[in-house]
Amino acid sequence: MDTPAEITPNRSTFQLTAVLLLIVAVVIALFAANSLYGGWYALFKTVHVTFAVIWIGGGFLLTLLGIIAERKNDPDEIAIVARQAAMVGEKLFAPAGLIVFLMGVAMMLNTNWGWGRFWIVAGLIGYALTFTTGIAVLAPLAKKIDASVEKNGATHPETMALVKRIMLIVRFDIAMLLLVIADMVTKPFS
User: DSSP secondary-structure letter at 4?
Assistant: P
Nearest CA to 190 out of 110, 94, 116 is that of 116
Percent of the chain scored above 70 by pLDDT?
A: 93
Contact 51, 92 (CB under 8 A): no
pLDDT in tens, 132-183: 998 899 889 988 988 998 899 988 999 989 988 988 998 999 999 999 999 9
Length of the chain: 190
pLDDT value at 123 more than 80 = yes
Contact 127, 96 (CB under 8 A): no
Global pTM reads 0.82
pLDDT in tens, 33-79: 777 666 688 888 888 999 999 999 999 999 899 899 989 988 888 88
Angle, helix 118-133 to helix 94-109, in steps of 10 degrees: 160
CA–CA distance from 98 to each of 82, 115, 129 (Å)? 22, 19, 13
